[in-house]
Chain A
Amino acid sequence: MRHEVRFSGFGGQGIILSAVILGRAAALYDNRYAVQTQVYGPEARGGASMSQVIIDDEPILFPKVKKPNLFVIMSQEGFEKYGKTASPDATMLIDSGLVHDRPECICIEIPATREAKTQLGRDIVANIIMLGSLVAATGVVSAQALEQAILASVPKGTEELNLKAMRLGFALAVPEA
């Protein structure tokens, strides 16, 4: 099964890191194939940032995303630039406090930045909440692989905070669980 996942938000939210973590989870811990690319513009902070991952059971030849089936959108500008044109059968997770519009495709609203602030005291881990929700809602990688990839990717000393964020993401995506 091939998944094309697109992340967008503003520079500084960890959009690129989210894609790197997801790709790492698939390629190193779920033993599938993954290619991560990004729109690599001059903006380092602010502006619409975008990064994409392809995950497949077979080797990935053409490395660019053609038609994403999964979206993680964390800013209004990111939605307008990279989310609006989502095909109707795609699934989109949005940070519901930061994105005002709603797509026509399947939409899962996750108040990641608000929950990061109120429950964890750090809005910097909102992207990890979104990743947790993405995995809980879609199973694009296994939860164990995601956990290992997060631990391998985040700065030392922040592991516990990030794992809490991941679990919060799981819970927000599947409230009854």
Chain B
Amino acid sequence: MQGNVACAEGALAAGCTFFAGYPITPSTEVAEHMAAKLPKRKGCFIQMEDEIASMAAIIGAAWTGVRAMTATSGPGFSLMMENIGYAVMSETPCVLINVQRGGPSTGQPTMAAQGDMMQVRFGSHGDFSIIALAPSTVQECFELTAKAFNLADQFRCPVFLMADEVIGHMRERITIPDSVQIVRPKPLQEGMLPFAPEDDLIPGFAAFGTGRKIPVTGLTHNEKGYPDSTNPARHESLVRRLVDKIETVRHSIADYEIVNEEAEYVFVCYGSPVRTVQEVVQRAKTPGTGYLHLRMIWPFPEQLLSRFPNVKAFIVPELNLGMISREVERHVCVPVISAGKIGGELHAPDELVAIVEQLRSGGCP
């Protein structure tokens, strides 16, 4: 099965019944598959006029209580930024798949990249936090998409599946379970205001039409949901809560794989470059190497970096000119080698081995 189709199957298994989107290479197969499947399940597929409207549509759908999703790539992702902020501020659970391609602008529609890793975290204006996952196999396309819906409902925020063209278009065998775990938002309790947080900093959720009055706004608002945008303390407590509800649990929700904690040269990787790193560390058994494979990039679980007591350098191979490498750099005291690669091709295993050998011989790649 193709990675993009596996994303769609993961969404369907998770009970997604609403898809709004605008086709764009290399993500289009997600929309195609949802368009073929959703009507047969009494779901709704709607092709919108652009990505701004697509994002608006899934926010509206989510407030009716259904699981809603869109899929896009770089240029469309840029258009979605404004409404992503709206989803953050209004605490709307929704899932976005970004099958990344080369940018900036229309760039390389058919080639792989991971150039949107900072945009997903910081692209919309203002202070906020989100959750971003990255698949490195077709199986993970299925599993992480299904998981994204649970995280979106649990934390009431947009959750992103940051795939790339290699994974999106690759075909591999996958195993689809009979059912997947489904965690819906906790309900809004009787007597609680719609934006009053519980102990976990997250308010209960009541969909439109279920009897509660739920004002929804992008303006800074009070716990009733009414705008209150000139009160500094109100803004500070709201926005800090939106950040903290995700950041305070970043270590407990981390999704990762660590291989060889004793390593001196540690790769930090996510998405399709994981495959090259696994080839170098596991198959070729390049001496002294290990890796941290992050399936969840944001929130960034920096404590995992201290799991390598012998590390001499971290190497971050990613399909951009150095994004997550900067995040690694600000948390550690050893050298961080940014092995960014752009143009659309994966790192070959030899390229990564060469970096390790250069480091071992005292050089600086």
A interface vs B, CB < 8 Å?
A: 20, 23, 27-28, 33-38, 40-42, 60-64, 66
Contacts and interface: CB of A to CB of B under 8 A. Distances in A.
A112 B166 CA distance: 31
12 contacts: A20-B171, A27-B173, A28-B173, A35-B172, A37-B166, A40-B26, A41-B110, A61-B279, A62-B278, A63-B166, A63-B346, A66-B348
B98 interface: no
A64 B275 CA distance: 10
Given A40-B26, A62-B275, A62-B276, A23 B171 contact: yes
B288 to A, nearest CB: 19
Contact of A37 (B170, B173, B283): B170
A23 B138 CA distance: 14
Interface in B147-182: 165-166, 169-173
Contact of A61 (B170, B173, B283): B283
B169 A62 contact: no
A38 B170 CA distance: 8
Interface string B279-300: 1001100000000000000000
Given A40-B110, A40-B165, A42-B110, A62 B171 contact: no
B272 interface: yes
Among A20, A23, A28, A62, the one with the most B-chain Cβ atoms within 10 Å of its Cβ is A62
B171 A61 contact: no
A39 to B, nearest CB: 8
Contacts of B166: 37, 63-64
A60 B173 CA distance: 11
B349 interface: yes
A63 B275 contact: yes
A148 to B, nearest CB: 14
Nearest to A66: B348
A28 B278 CA distance: 24
Given A62-B349, A63-B166, A66-B348, A36 B276 contact: no
Contacts of B169: 37-38, 40
Query: Which 7 A-B pairs have CB atoms at the shortest separation, nearest pair first?
Result: A62-B279, A27-B173, A36-B171, A61-B278, A61-B279, A40-B110, A61-B275
Interface of B: 26, 109-110, 165-166, 169-173, 272, 275-276, 278-279, 282-283, 345-346, 348-349
Given A42-B110, A66-B348, A34 B275 contact: no
B272 A63 contact: yes
A38 B3 CA distance: 13
B291 to A, nearest CB: 12
Contacts of B346: 62-64
A33 B173 contact: yes
Contact of A36 (B170, B275, B282): B170
A35 B170 contact: yes
Nearest to A58: B283
B110 A61 contact: no
Nearest to B350: A66
A63 B137 CA distance: 10
A61 B26 contact: no
Tell me which of B173, B276, B283, B349 has the highest count of chain A C-beta atoms within 10 A of its own C-beta: B173
Contacts of A34: 171-173
A62 B278 CA distance: 7
B2 to A, nearest CB: 9
A34 to B, nearest CB: 7
B109 to A, nearest CB: 8
Nearest to A20: B171
A62 B272 CA distance: 9
A136 B272 CA distance: 34
A71 B348 CA distance: 21
Contacts of A20: 171
B176 to A, nearest CB: 13
A63 B170 contact: yes
A35 B278 contact: no
A15 B294 CA distance: 35
Given A28-B173, A35-B170, 19 more contacts: A23-B171, A27-B172, A33-B173, A34-B171, A34-B173, A36-B171, A37-B169, A38-B169, A40-B110, A42-B110, A62-B279, A62-B283, A63-B166, A63-B170, A63-B272, A63-B346, A64-B345, A64-B348, A66-B348
A42 B108 CA distance: 11
A33 B171 CA distance: 11
Contacts of A38: 169
Which of B166, B171, B278, B282 gathers most chain A CB within 10 Å? B171
Contacts of B275: 61-63
